[in-house]
Amino acid sequence: MGAVPSTPRHTSTTAETAEYLIGTFVGEKSFPLASDFWQKLLELPLTLRWSSYRVQQACELFAQNNHHTRHLAKILIHLSWCLQEAVRTSGAPSVVYLKAINAVYFSSVFLKYIVENSQSDNIEELCLSLLENEPVPKDFMTDQRIENLLMHNVLTFLGSIDVSPTTSLLHQELLNFMLVVMSTQLLSGPTPGPKDVNPFLDAAMSQESLLVSSVVRRLLLNYIMRPRLPSSTAASYSIFSEENQPGVLQRVGSAAANFVLLPFNYLVNSNSEGSRNQLADCSLHVLLVLIHYHKCVVSDESVTDRSDDSASTDPVSKVNTYFTVNPYSKALENARDIEFDRADIEGNAQNGPVVRLPFASLFDTLGMCLADETAVLLLYSLVQGNSDFLEYVLVRTDLDTLLMPILETLYSASRRTSNQIYMLLIILLILSQDSSFNASIHKMILPGVPWYKEHLLHQTSLGSLMVIILIRTVQYNLSKLRDVYLHTTCLATLANMAPHVHRLSAYASQRLVSLFYMLSRKYNKLVELRDDKLQTKAISTGDGLVEDMSAELQIYTDFLRIVLEILNAILTYALPRNPEVVYAIMHRQEVFQPFKSHPRFAELLENIYNVLDFFNSRMDAQRMDGEWSVEKVLLFIINNCRSWRGEGMKMFTQLHFSYEQESHPEEFFIPYVWQLVLSRCGFSFNADAITLFPVGMHANVSL
């Protein structure tokens, strides 16, 4: 398709007309905005079949000619006008929506091709402006930026038009389009800098707060309500191809890295990650990209401060750059429960428009979908950033709705990504910062846990299950991931829970003591390795390895101390309520013996041995016919717990860990969000063009 097809005769078929119009669109001739060419193009039924090779040529030809035709800018303007008309005539003729859908299709395919094949640092090939001598309609404001016009109208449609059988297809394609225009982030490095070029994302960030709030609300409602695209919608558009006969734009999409994935085809896919729904999933993808975007700009101070040349080249230097406020993130943080009294909502109005959502439905939807990483990231974003939603979660009496899928996912950690494990553990840590949460999870009794295979868990409290899974995660990490941050998060959560433990199960108590034993074995191995290296240091060329071992040894010393503090907290504040913990310590008391004289552990072990002495002495004093059985020992402990007064116990300050994000969380979250989007949305991208990956960043846990 190297040349533009000739103009078809009056007797030409629809296919010939479509071939001519699309060929003209990608060709050398420039058509002004007011030309009737655009109406003919956008009213095509698009039943033309092209081979992927021809479509690839069409994309290449379009990219070559766009600089002087400015057809991308023009079709984006026409898309904006179509959306304006669709908003004005909501529920009106389907031809309005058909034109808009066609405009979205064309824009998506060719814009994406240009973005992922761009050779310039600032994606100049987009040419998002009209030439100076370009004739325009009288009412067209030539000084407006096309990306701002476009994003205003796209977001206005998404935020103001309800999803219905008439509008659902256009909603879906606009969400796909949003991912395309925001994919410029994939061309930036993992650390946002002032030279990053994201024209459409920046335009989205510049919209007024009322529009932003309406978009955030609509995207979340789509996720909650999960509207289906009716099959009648698919049948009404000829772009929906029959089996093995894709329409022209689906072929274009295939050639341009398989972008266009038609809704009807998507509905046949399903898995165990909740009820998959394309409109809901795509809404969440768009929301996650929007809320985690960070625009880096140069600060005014950097203009006069030239004292440090290296600082001026650092894209995240605190002296020279800063991040602008993200209005979508703020809107999510300020979202309120729709069940709240309106007066309360109005009382918060000084911070801008408030997004009102049905928290109950959002809670239930998240519980249904937490096997999917995107749902986990949304839950994290809510509990970390929205205090109202966190409070709502904490007062729910059915915490198992969220906790059971979280714990089941952690149970199958070997089949999950490390990022998903981190997010889930951080969520648990955030929840454990609340004392009422720690108390309530022990009051909820689970009749059974069928997915836990190592041990029969019958009539186990939710709190005991959480202890078991956290310890199991530490064990998995010791053998597989070996990530210090993961250890820290698990132990921090257990430490927050410890003073509130109530009737911890026998199995959970055993696992808690075994946790100390597991970590002590790792500690002893490190000591042996360090000592061996110190003995051979004379023939070594350096002591870097010894220093690394010493640092790791210090980390595991801290871990062992935290476990001892967890046991201390249970024994100090909740011993009478936890006879199984006492039994587990008595049963494995030999594991503590090697550490009695350790300077970091001695005072904590004094308390543990104080408890052991109390119960051991009474056991020795009690005459017993026959052997001490497990049942008899446990009954003995329960009876003697009543006379326990805690005499001689040294009181330690309770450990309380809280979660804090790193100072630059965007270095982790932006690449992570796009990894999730690209793996789920049917949207692939030229891998050679992506500079956003890989990245490795973890958040902080602070005491």
How many Cα atoms within 13 Å fall on the side-chain side of residue 388? Answer: 21
143-190 pLDDT, tens digit per residue, is: 789 999 999 999 999 999 999 988 998 999 999 999 999 999 999 988
Percent of the chain with pLDDT over 90: 60
pTM to 2 decimals? 0.88
Three-state secondary structure call for residue 323: strand
- Residue 405 phi, psi (nearest 5): -65, -30
Q: Which residue has the higher pLDDT, 243 or 193?
A: 193
What pLDDT sits at residue 18? 83
Query: Residue 67 to residues 124, 402, 482, 511: CA-CA distances in angstroms?
Result: 9, 52, 52, 67
Q: Which pLDDT tens digit goes with each residue over 658-698? A: 999 888 899 999 999 999 999 988 777 888 899 998 644 44
Burial string for 339-348 (b: 16+ CB within 10 Å, else e) reads: ebeeeeeeee
Give mean pLDDT, residues 549-564. 91
Do the beta carbons of residue 387 and residue 353 sit within 8 Å? no
Please answer whether residues 530 and 553 qualify as being in contact, where contact means their C-beta atoms are separated by less than 8 angstroms.
yes
Which DSSP state fits 416?
A: S
Q: Note whether 281 and 374 are within 8 A (CB).
A: yes
- Highest mean pLDDT of the ranges 249-258, 274-283, 533-542: 274-283
The enclosing H or E element of 296 equals strand 296-298
- Please give the distance of CA 17 from its chain centroid, rounded to a whole number: 45
Residue 392, judged by CB atoms within 10 A of its CB (0-12, 13-18, 19+), counts as buried
Q: Is the peptide bond before 135 cis (omega within 30 degrees of 0)?
A: no
**Quick one: CA dihedral 236, 240, 243, 245, positive or negative?**
positive
Gyration radius from the chain CA atoms: 31
Q: Band of the pLDDT at 540, cuts 50, 70, 90?
A: low
Given this model, what pLDDT does residue 250 score?
A: 42
Q: Decide which of 350 and 479 is more confident.
A: 479
Partners of 616 in the beta sheet?
none
User: 10 Å Cβ neighbour count for 551?
Assistant: 10
pLDDT tens, residue by residue, 6-26: 444 444 567 788 888 999 999
Q: How far apart are CA 337 and CA 557, in angstroms?
A: 45
Q: How many CB atoms lie within 10 A of CB 633?
A: 18
Residue 218: CA count within 13 A, CB half-sphere: 24
Terminal alpha carbon distance of the chain: 65
* Alpha-carbon gap, residue 550 to 151, rounded angstroms: 55
Name which of 105, 85, 80 is nearest 96 in CA terms: 85
Distance CA 619, CA 610 (A): 14
pLDDT 10s digits, 608-620: 999 999 999 998 8
Residue 350 reports pLDDT greater than 80: no
Number of residues in the chain: 703
CA distances from 155 to 149, 174, 518, 542 (A): 10, 9, 54, 60
Query: Does residue 49 register a pLDDT over 60?
Result: yes
Q: For 130-140, write each residue's pLDDT tens digit.
A: 988 888 887 77
Q: Tell me the average pLDDT of the chain.
A: 84
* Residue 47 · residue 15 · CB < 8 Å: yes
> Do residues 640 and 618 lie in contact, with contact meaning Cβ atoms separated by under 8 Å?
yes
Residue 440 has pLDDT above 70, yes or no: yes
Q: What pLDDT band is residue 339 in, cutting at 50, 70 and 90?
A: confident
Mean pLDDT of 368-377: 95
Alpha carbons 586 and 105: distance in angstroms, whole number:
70
Pick the range with the lowest mean pLDDT from 225-239, 394-408, 411-425, 445-459: 225-239
Mean pLDDT to the nearest integer, 233-243? 35
Rounded CA separation 15/19 (Å): 6
CB count in 10 Å sphere of residue 262: 24
What's the angle, vertex CA 284, arms to CA 282 and CA 288, rounded to 5?
Answer: 120
| Three-state SS at 313 | helix
Residue with tokens 């960070």: 294
Per-residue pLDDT for 275 more than 70? no
C-beta neighbour count of 588 within 10 angstroms = 14
